[in-house]
Structure 1
Amino acid sequence: MSTITSTLLSDGRELIYFDDEDSPAERRSGDAAPDLRGLPARGEPGEVRFDALTGDWVAVAAHRQTRTHLPPADQCPICPTTSTNATEIPAADYDVVVFENRFPSLGPAVGNIPSEPGWGTVGPAYGRCEVVSFTSEHTGSFSGLSERRARTVVEAWAQRTEALSALPGIQQVFPFENRGAEIGVTLHHPHGQIYAYPYVTPRASVMAAAAGKHYESVNGRSTLIGSLLEAERKDGSRMVLESDSFSAFVPFAARWPLEIHLVPHRKVPDLAALSGAEKDELAHVYLELLKKVDALYPTPTPYISAWHQAPLIPSLRDAGQLHLQLTSPRRAADKLKYLAGSEAAMGAFINDTTPEAVAERLRSVAVPPAPSVLEGTNA
């Protein structure tokens, strides 16, 4: 079990250290150094505006224009602090760290946004945005972590999901990772993020409506994603990998050139609801999946790793089930799919690959062994 230590940065933002199980004493973060940067006080939230044409909320966060963008390694803001680079993480070393984003799209205040919006409705951009640093090493990626470190990240996701879900006004918690310059990352350091929204996002709303319709039609006997998994396992042509508690498949109607869903066999609403044994297994299976994705081409594959968790609204939560959607715009070694007219304007996707062929490639790709727990700080 990870050791968890919470502290505050000099502007009042929360920072939480998650130590690997059995991490060496010199890497333990319980007595981490304080943040001596003397940062200015945090600003007020931005705003959310209601789009009456679609029924969606849009966050307006102009302050993010000044956020850090692809700094050199010696100026990375999420590497450990040194004498020449005072960073967001005061400790001289760490395993996994979660902290409130200095340039958040949502927050830092939390609360309820207007419940009956219309044209011209504006509200505070309540919510919370957190950064999850997977390792103190500046280079590498999640797929290069040891299984022990991956387990610590899973624990961090689960713990933060539970904590953020309890905040006033929060309706959806979304852990995700953007990997690769092609996706638009602003930091090279291996990391992900967690957004806690004051509304149910447009994509989650569409999925919740379909899930609710299915759940009602089968009298609560199965969730929609659970039924789809059952069908995919029976068909077999799009399956990628399976374990005792999780299965991964390329969906029948995949939108992206590379798209994989990872689904727990047990109905759970979110990462916080997984058992300890399931978290152990997830760390192993998720690493195997990412290694397969990275082994498809000679260079690392850009991707978005999106953890879909059931919304916190009671009427939507029962029908929801945790699952991962991993997507990449890469359609060949030297080609990317760009969202142009049909996709960007109409939301009508046209896939350049067949799901069955992609699944076959992923099944057959050779996966390198996991790094030893004795190798480097990623151990």
Structure 2
Amino acid sequence: MKRTVTELADGRELIYFDRRDDADRAAPDKRDLPPRPPASELRRDPLTDEWIAIAGHRQGRTFLPPAGECPLCPSEPGRLTEIPAASYDVVVFENRFPSFSAQPGEQPVVGGLSEARPGTGRCEVVCFTDDHDASFADLDPGRVELVMAAWADRTAELSALPGVEQVFVFENRGPEIGITLGHPHGQIYAYPYVTPRTRRTLEVAARHAERTGRDLFADVLAAEREAGVRVVAANDHWTAFVPAAARWPYEVHLYPHRRVPDLCGLDAAERAAFGPLYTGVLRALDGLFGVPMPYVAAWHQAPVATGRELSHLHMELFSIRRASNKLKYLAGSESAMGAFVNDVSPEEAARLLRAMVTN
């Protein structure tokens, strides 16, 4: 793998990850860009003890441009994009409209009981391929391994930044999910706090360890593998299963069999084994209703400095599509109370997906 670091016209970092050592990445960014926005504000909700980012500059971000104006495609004469090169394998760059950044800004002041501080951190975009019409499911195993190498590289570097407490790697796919760019890509958030979901999960894992002396995540994986009824696919290093208490109509968790805290901990064999399994599950999702399935693919990694001994890297993949012409909306119970109601039996979802993977 060749790794080339350069800068965009406004000073944002851009990194090429190439399979060929002779890849030429000398093309400069010739655009005239405005100054980068200041960091967002973080405000603490005194009722939930959760941090909320206030990032007004994101209102102006690019929204579903036509393919001919895609900012994630390679640059070409007369049309300059976020990627100066004429082609690329995998590329990562700082988001132009970040939820968190290290840009200087005024110290926020908020009345009432809410605390406030700058939204220091970093947000990056990961482009999986220069093919605008492709998807992650289309990537060959070597390209998936290159993407995973980029994810691990960025996890390590972002974890070392001052003030970063958790690194979150994810992909949103499909207009139904709320994407703003159609090009196949994901994102990485370097949060200046431990997210509510991770904090709660680690609290549960700590109670489980205190009560049983065992690893909660390993116990969940072992139980699902033994039961088998919700397993969608598996190989020597990974198991994909629908969780027994799935929140979403079609939800699949992918666990490595060996406990590692984050993507950096995976070895070469585990990285190589992930791609064929994962892309098979993605193709199964697309095949269920004969239309591209909208999804969120979320890597759960250990926080930078806390709970690492309790964490077990895994991906949670889920879709809001519950039928060919129906979506799962987060209505009153889910949005207001955080109490999910799932319309699809996890066992039935697993059966349907397993049949699609097998076929």
Matched with 2:8 is 9
| Contact preservation (8 Å) 1:291, 1:367 | no
Cα distance, 1:226 vs. partner? 1.3
The secondary structure found in structure 2 opposite 1:304 is strand
RMSD between superposed Cα atoms in Å: 1.9
AA at the equivalent of 2:198 = A
The secondary structure found in structure 2 opposite 1:230 is helix
Which of 289, 292, 296 is residue 288 of structure 2 equivalent to? Answer: 296
AA at the equivalent of 1:339 = L
For 1:329 and 1:206, locate their aligned partners in 2 and report how far apart those are by CA, in whole Å.
23
Which of 120, 127, 135 is residue 126 of structure 1 equivalent to? Answer: 120
Cα distance, 1:109 vs. partner? 4.2
* TM alignment of 1:356-371, pairs within 5 A: 356-366=347-357
Cα distance, 1:24 vs. partner? 8.3
For 1:120 and 1:308, locate their aligned partners in 2 and report how far apart those are by CA, in whole Å.
28
For 2:282 and 2:209, locate their aligned partners in 1 and report how far apart those are by CA, in whole Å.
31
For 1:53 and 1:309, locate their aligned partners in 2 and report how far apart those are by CA, in whole Å.
26
Cα distance, 1:313 vs. partner? 2.7
| Contact preservation (8 Å) 2:301, 2:311 | yes
Matched with 1:255 is 247
* TM alignment of 1:132-143, pairs within 5 A: 132-143=126-137
The secondary structure found in structure 2 opposite 1:34 is coil
AA at the equivalent of 2:248 = W
AA at the equivalent of 1:303 = Y
Matched with 1:373 is none
For 2:249 and 2:357, locate their aligned partners in 1 and report how far apart those are by CA, in whole Å.
20
| Contact preservation (8 Å) 2:37, 2:57 | no
The secondary structure found in structure 2 opposite 1:6 is strand
Cα distance, 1:44 vs. partner? 1.7
Which of 172, 176, 187 is residue 182 of structure 1 equivalent to? Answer: 176
Alignment of 1:79 onto 2:70: no
For 1:97 and 1:275, locate their aligned partners in 2 and report how far apart those are by CA, in whole Å.
22
Cα distance, 1:119 vs. partner? 1.9
AA at the equivalent of 1:235 = A
AA at the equivalent of 1:228 = V
Matched with 1:236 is 228
AA at the equivalent of 2:39 = P
Cα distance, 1:41 vs. partner? 2.7
The secondary structure found in structure 1 opposite 2:188 is strand
Matched with 2:313 is 322
Q: For each residue in 1:86-124, what CA deviation from the matched residue of structure 2 results, as whole angstroms up to 9, or x when unmatched? A: 1010001100000000000001349xx99xxx9231100
| Contact preservation (8 Å) 1:109, 1:127 | no
The secondary structure found in structure 1 opposite 2:289 is coil
Which of 32, 39, 47 is residue 33 of structure 2 equivalent to? Answer: 39
Cα distance, 1:183 vs. partner? 0.1
Which of 80, 102, 114 is residue 96 of structure 2 equivalent to? Answer: 102
Which runs of 5 or more structure 1 residues have no equivalent in the other structure? 369-379
Per the normalisation by structure 2, the TM-score is 0.95
For 1:32 and 1:203, locate their aligned partners in 2 and report how far apart those are by CA, in whole Å.
41
For 2:94 and 2:3, locate their aligned partners in 1 and report how far apart those are by CA, in whole Å.
16
> Structure 1 357/46 Cα, relative in aligned 2: closer, same or farther at 3 Å?
same
Cα distance, 1:205 vs. partner? 1.1
Runs of 4+ off more than 2 Å: 215-219
Cα distance, 1:38 vs. partner? 2.9
Q: Which moved more, 1:225-234 or 1:289-298?
A: 289-298
Which runs of 5 or more structure 2 residues have no equivalent in the other structure? none
For 1:165 and 1:49, locate their aligned partners in 2 and report how far apart those are by CA, in whole Å.
22
| Contact preservation (8 Å) 2:168, 2:188 | yes
| Contact preservation (8 Å) 1:295, 1:366 | no
For 1:10 and 1:216, locate their aligned partners in 2 and report how far apart those are by CA, in whole Å.
52
Cα distance, 1:276 vs. partner? 1.4
Which of 198, 201, 214 is residue 208 of structure 2 equivalent to? Answer: 214
